[in-house]
Chain A
Amino acid sequence: MTYDADALAQLEQDAAEILGRYPVKRSALLPLLHLVQSVDGYVSPDGIAFCANQVDLTSAEVSAVATFYTQYKRRPNGEYQVGVCTNTLCAIMGGDEIWRQVSERCGIGHDETTADGKITLERLECNAACDYAPVMMVNWEFFDNMTPDRALRVVDDILEGRDVVPTRGPAKVAPFKEVSRVLAGFEDGRADEDQGLGEPTVVGLKVAREQGWEDAK
């Protein structure tokens, strides 16, 4: 293993915390894989060996698990994972066209990374935000009701090093490694950040209030 002493000590400390959440060691494997992505930016050979060691599996067994899940990356990932939902509902509402333009602007296709390492592109399956279609996700934060122009602006901002702000979510999108650490179950203190009410989320509630139907309480 090639982690330096400090990195390894930190990893071991974090891994101990993760293992402490489960009654059976092996359950820690998915969060551990998110954890090594937060250090290496992908599931590296070192990361696999580290996980295997933590949960008493072989590297081959850990690889077999990691390759099953699309969020674990086999190659160094871009700093921003940009996904355009092209499942049916979003595709029809404009997602196909957004994908075409975003892919053209970045000059890459599905599961490819720009030469500067900024963006990895992905055609997403439904991300449970269909009421906000067409939807894009950047490092797993919501960019709702996209148009090609808005999507291109997000991409340009990333390519030119500016922060990007989701429509539902925190004040800005954190880089891939930071977000991977959250997915390993470590809070980053940003849960209270918010972009205000998303209209589709509260539309039914508003209708009920207008009609005086709240008495159902």
Chain B
Amino acid sequence: MISWLLPQASTFASTIDGLVLLIAVIVGVWLILAEVVLFGFIWKYRARDGIRGQYVSGEDRSQKKWVSYPHYAVVVFDIIIIVAALRVWNEVKVAAPPGEEQIRIIAQQWSWTFVHAGPDGKLDTPDDIRTVDDMYVQRDRVYTFELHARDVVHSFSVPAFRLKQDAIPGRVIHGWFRPTREGTFDVQCVEMCGVGHGLMAGRIHIGSAAQYAAWMTEFRTTAATANRITGSTPVADVAAHDHVGTAGGTR
């Protein structure tokens, strides 16, 4: 159902959408049943001249079965939902496959900094490439990410991935995803993080391996030029600074 409104751009997008559909069908049937019975009774037992209400305590077993049987059914459906929900949860949040690529995501009031591992595929090496508010990944590669927050609680959300994870200052939180579709999608911050919360928008760009390589080369050359001009300050930090200025000033 979500896919009618939003593209599915990661492996687990369709898993989560499937779970949502399952729950929607189950609770939808229950809701309709309950409402039909409710309105049916309201109609059938509306006050009419000469007809008195019945005396039903609902304490006898023969009467109580009318609520206990549906109730056992609720238990059964609850179990079905729990099993499905925990399988999905496990896939997305617990059992991460081994990562093929690494990326670091840093949230701060009010921008995103993305640290791409560069050609050596490792973080914290001189060839890392930092960008602000735009994140670049390759299609069909398993990414593990590290999520940091510099000041307050933020939350990294990519609706097209169906992925969401809070960023907590003082903690490094790990997660994974595998993009399945090329294009540009929104990154949101979904935890209230101050005046600029509504401006904390980013974009994730998903490309083929070749496209990705082209992006990275481009950044390396611009970064090198920028470094020559501004001395040793890494380009991303300068950019992050400017961004905070504009975000704060927009109120």
**B is bound to A:** no
Residues of A within 8 A of B (CB): none
